């Protein structure tokens, strides 16, 4: 069987991108305060991008004869991105920091996928990982800028 480790990373991404979409959705729903009118619709764009990445990753896994997680139970049992209860006790900046944490985790997972797919010589998947990691790094930069911080991607 080819690309065993690459397929494992792809399936981990299925669980984690699903969780990240929900976290963005929660941020969208539980947002209040300054910049609401700007950030609330922006979260829709963030969700669309993550959902698009999820589709690309899932379809690549299927193309490699893999079986992506496809139930909420599988997603919840396999994600490594922490969630929060839906409560009003978090500020929008706190929620944005939580998003950055999730994006940083995805950035690291994409990097791991780049390395694994290189070893397994699955350069098509590696190309996908590189492009999606770049998109994630841009989101980190943008959210960090909103929070008044540097991207800190090179640390």
Whether residue 57 contacts residue 128, with contact meaning beta carbons closer than 8 Å, is answered with yes
Is 107 inside any structural domain? yes
Which residues touch 31 (CB under 8 Å, ≥6 apart)?
A: 39, 40, 43, 92, 95
pLDDT of residue 13: 98
Q: How confident is the model at residue 44 (pLDDT cuts 50, 70, 90)?
A: very high
Which residues touch 42 (CB under 8 Å, ≥6 apart)?
A: none
- Tokens 């996908």 label which residue? 128
Residue ranges making up the domain that contains 65? 4-147
145: pLDDT strictly greater than 90:
yes
Torsion of CA 73, 79, 81, 84, to 10 degrees: 10
CATH number, domain of 129, equals 1.20.1260.10
For residue range 127-142, list pLDDT tens digits in order: 999 999 999 999 999 9
pLDDT of residue 1: 77
pTM attached to this predicted model = 0.96
Report percent pLDDT > 90 for the chain: 94
Is 63 inside any structural domain? yes
For residue range 113-128, list pLDDT tens digits in order: 999 999 999 999 999 9
Q: At what angle do helices 123-146 and 4-29 cross, to 10 degrees?
A: 20
The full length of the chain comes to: 155
Distance of CA 33 to the CA centre of its chain: 25
Whether residue 98 contacts residue 145, with contact meaning beta carbons closer than 8 Å, is answered with no
State the average pLDDT over residues 66-89.
95
For residue range 80-103, list pLDDT tens digits in order: 999 999 899 999 999 999 999 999
72: pLDDT strictly greater than 80:
yes
Provide the number of structural domains found in the chain.
Answer: 1
Q: How confident is the model at residue 155 (pLDDT cuts 50, 70, 90)?
A: confident
Is 152 inside any structural domain? no
């Amino acid at each position: 069987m080819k690309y065993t480790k690459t397929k494992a990373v792809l399936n981990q991404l299925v669980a984690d991108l699903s969780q990240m979409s929900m976290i963005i959705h929660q941020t969208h729903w539980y947002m209040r305060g300054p910049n609401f009118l700007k950030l609330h619709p922006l979260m829709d764009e963030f969700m669309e991008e993550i959902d698009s990445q999820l589709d690309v990753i899932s379809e690549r896994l299927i193309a490699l004869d893999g079986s992506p997680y496809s139930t909420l139970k599988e997603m919840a049992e396999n994600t490594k991105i922490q969630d929060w209860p839906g409560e009003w006790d978090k500020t929008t900046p706190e929620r944005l920091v939580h998003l950055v944490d999730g994006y940083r985790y995805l950035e690291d997972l994409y990097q791991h996928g780049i390395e694994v797919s290189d070893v397994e010589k699955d350069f098509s998947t590696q190309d996908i990982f590189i492009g999606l990691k770049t998109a994630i790094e841009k989101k980190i930069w943008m959210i960090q800028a909103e929070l008044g911080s540097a991207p800190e991607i090179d640390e």
